[in-house]
Structure 1
Amino acid sequence: MADDAAPVETGRPNEERGPRHWLWSLAGVVAVAILLFVLWWGPWLFTRHPSSELSDAEELKAENDVRTTLVQTVAGLAVAAGAFVTYRTFRQNQLEQANRHDREERTYKLNQSQQVTDTYTKAVEQLGHKEAPVRLGALYSLVSLAQDNPPRRQTVVDVLCAYLRMPYTPSRRDEPTSGLAATNDATPPAPDEGEPQRDTVQELQVRQTAQRLLADHLHYPPHTSGTDAQGTEPSPEAIFWPGISIDLTGASLVDLSLRSASVIRADFSRATFSGDASFDGATFSGDARFDGATFSGDARFDGATFSGDARFDGATFSGDVWFGKATFFGDARFDEANFHGYGWFEKATVSGDAWFGRATFSGHARFDKATFSGDARFDRGTFSDDARFIEATVSGDAWFGGATFSGAAWFGGATFSGNARFGRASFSSHASFSQATFSGYAWFGKATFSGNARFDEAAFSGHASFDGATFSGHALFDKAIFSGKAWFHVTLSGHASFGGTRILRLDDPEVNGGRRRVWPNGWAVHPDADDPARGTLVRVESTAEDG
């Protein structure tokens, strides 16, 4: 084959030499013609004047002048042609260099992309290796690849999440030793009996490493907010990875910490959190789903920001849970959630609707100074311990119909701008609505107050209905203000006090007359002497019918 290739290699230069030879010959002929024209034909042509008579000396001088001018002209044209050829050659070299650079760049990128693909494929395969150190190395390899290649980050995160979604049962380190193992039998265990336990412990290390790697790159930089961090451009130098969504549906997570993390969307539906889970200061730019999740330890969401909807429907919190100063820009859904420990929502802000229907609070529930811009639904909720809504603000409707308060219920200073519905609610202990403000309809129909009920200094700007309510303890409405209709067909077993209660709009037929205002037995309105449109509820002598 070498002999066959030789003529081909020697033939190509000969083929190129032929055209160049003719070009050089043609150039030589043109140069001779120009030389002859400049030295002889040109001067003769431009100096012959049939009508003029020149002496020989004048004719010779004219020819020399013409010859000089032609030489200068040709020389100028030659310089211009040389400059043009030089420029064309320079541009051609530039284009060739640019094309060569582009080819080299494309080749480099193709090689680099192939290397990245090979590294990614190998690392993904190693995640299935039976040896934990190999799986650990695969995790670090994937994260390093994603750090250097921002477009690959979401894919790598998806792989890490998929690994964490795989079935896993934490080891029971505190499980008592079986009777067989507790005997004095000195027979050593079979070599493979200890392997599952060791593998479980090693697998825990691998999974926690995956969790930590995710947390490291989802932690937004200091001196910025989680929302602003999402607007940064991804780069190989920055540790934080913007634009990431995580899917940990049904995952088994152990001592997960995503403090100050910032993600777009997060799905933890039906996930199991063993140990404590921390999301303090986390930012969820999209929807966050925790519905059906189980938290075995404490769960912390203090200062978290939910820009989309936050769903915790049916979630179980076995330990304490903190949502203090959390911000929900969308709906906050906790329908049928179970809070076995302390539930802290103090100073939380919900811009959408808050759903806690049929939720169960076994421990203390604190919503002090919480702000609900939409509706707040706690209908048929169960509060086994104290429930605090002190100075809470509900701009929409508040739904507590059928709720059960086994401990003390504190609503002192709360503001209900919409309708407040407590119909058929059950208060087994102390219930306080002191200084509460009801701007809409305040409905307590058929509510049951087994302990003392305090509505002193409460303000009812809309209608207030206590029809069918039962007060087994003291009912205190001292210095309350009623501006709208009021119905008090109630059962009072304890002491009732309306001292200093003010009744407004006595001159408004829309809220007076007929049965539009019904006060408890033994109480009547006494109009003010200086303003008959206002009055005070005063005690009247009981009749035999009143008992």
Structure 2
Amino acid sequence: MNSRRGRAAGLWPIGRHLVVVVLIGLGVFAAATVLLWLALGLPSAPGPDTRLNVIKIALSVVAGVGGVVALVVAYRKQRIGEAAEAREHVKVLNERFATACAQIGHEKPAVRLAGVYAIASLADEWTEQRQVCIDVLCAYLRMPYEPTLDSPWYHDEETEVRFSITSVISDHLRPGAPVSWQGHEFNFLRAVLRSADFADIEVSGGRLLFSLARFRRGWVSFDGMRVSGGEVWFGGAEFADGTRVTFDNAEFGGGRVQFEGAAFTGGEVTFRGAKFTGGEVDLSQVGPGDYTTPPVFDPWETPPPGLLLPGA
């Protein structure tokens, strides 16, 4: 059992470890004896004092080896204990993950909401599996969903769950977040987004993928968004009737924002007050038939550098 625990902790078997320590100790003793013998001028018949000194050195070396052996045993116990504690911690995290996933798949919206916040809390603690937790939240948004468009305020229970997911993600991408999720991938491929608040988020690395997403009736805000690195993709996204998607006062200072194949055929998409100071915001690959309701920009004589419009 101890051997298996030692191997799990990345340690040699205890027997091998002790043999190596004892051999090293004996080697040190032999070297010390030879050096002492040389220092005494290689006496052929050592006197009583010399023999006594040699015995003292031998006893000191034996005591030292014993002390080292005790340290090795204590060190192994500590390492094995730490490894067992780490395994137990990972086990608890896995159990929490399984429970949160079961909640987020529950039929009752209130339980699903609890699962959303449980997954987010776990992502904050579990750095090694943070991307997996993020993937679970994004995967929920990618599940087929048709909002009840005639509900009051264009809002229903499922929309609230989805809004909570986007809010949790946004909170971790804003400046000053207690735990930042910057640099990760957020895959909203084919997601149906009706109400989401991405205002004031920062993108300095990683990727936000809204490719083929459908923005349905409601308001999705990217107001004050700052992109200084990474990638944001809206390739093939659909901005349809009744949609309001705003990038007002956003700042694009780096990275790449791509709208290749997106469809601006209804609703309102605005970039009022947006600053294009670097990077690339590319709408050049939007087809003429998909640009019947163009985004609204501030007036200018020529487009700012980095903003590529259809036909440019």
Q: TM-score, normalised by structure 1?
A: 0.42
In structure 1, how many angstroms separate the alpha carbons of the residues matched to 2:102 and 2:270?
A: 39
Per the alignment, residue 319 of structure 1 pairs with: 268
Q: 1:340 to 1:132 in 2, by over 3 A?
A: same
Residue in structure 2 matched with residue 115 of structure 1 by the alignment: 92
CA RMSD of aligned residues (A): 3.0
1:26 corresponds in structure 2 to none
Residues 328-361 of structure 1 deviation map (CA, whole Å, 9 limit, x = unaligned)? 52461242343637611x4xxxxxxxxxxxxxxx
1:300 aligns with 2:247: yes
Q: Which runs of 5+ in 1 are unaligned?
A: 1-45, 47-65, 176-196, 223-237, 347-365, 380-398, 400-547
Aligned to 1:441: none
- Distance apart, 1:306 and its partner CA: 5.0
Q: Note if contact 1:283-1:306 (Cα within 8 Å) is conserved in structure 2.
A: yes
From 242, 255, 266, give the equivalent of 2:208: 266
Shift of 1:148: 0.9
Matches within 5 A, 1:468-507: none
Give SS of 2:182's match. coil
Q: CA offsets, 1:408-436, max 9 Å, x none?
A: xxxxxxxxxxxxxxxxxxxxxxxxxxxxx
Unaligned runs of 5+ in 2: 1-44
Quote the offset at 1:239 in angstroms: 1.4
Shift of 1:292: 3.0
Shift of 1:144: 1.2
Change (3 A) 1:251 1:305: farther
The answer as to 2:300 corresponding to 1:343 is no
Q: Provide the aligned length of Structure 1 versus Structure 2.
A: 254
**Alignment match, 1:246:** 186
TM-score, structure 2 as length reference: 0.71
Are 2:69 and 1:125 equivalent residues in the alignment? no
Aligned partner (choices 218, 231, 247) of residue 275 of structure 1: 218
2:228 and 2:279 in contact (8 A); partners too: no
8 Å contact kept, 2:246–2:270: yes
Deviations 1:264-313 (A, max 9, x none): 11211221234222222232633322133234014215213451352253
SS at match of 2:176: coil
Preserved CA contact (<8 Å) 2:278 2:306: no
For 1:265-414, what aligned pairs fall within 5 Å after superposition? 265-273=207-215, 274-279=217-222, 280-283=224-227, 285-295=229-239, 296-300=243-247, 302-305=250-253, 307-308=255-256, 310-316=258-264, 318-322=267-271, 324-327=274-277, 329-330=279-280, 332-334=282-284, 335-336=286-287, 337-338=290-291, 340=293, 343-344=296-297, 346=298, 366-368=299-301, 370-372=303-305, 378-379=310-311, 399=312
Structure number with larger C-alpha Rg = 1
What is the distance in 1 between the residues matched to 2:278 and 2:69?
63
Cα distance change of structure 1 residues 368 and 102 upon mapping to structure 2, 3 Å threshold: farther
Answer yes or no: is the 8 Å Cα contact 2:173–2:180 preserved in 1: yes
Change in CA separation of 1:318 and 1:327 when aligned onto 2, cut-off 3 Å: farther
Once the 2 structures are TM-superposed, how far is the Cα of residue 202 of structure 1 from its aligned partner?
A: 2.5
1:495 alignment counterpart: none
More helix by share: 2
The 3 A distance-change label for structure 1 pair 314 and 73 is closer
Q: Percent identity?
A: 22
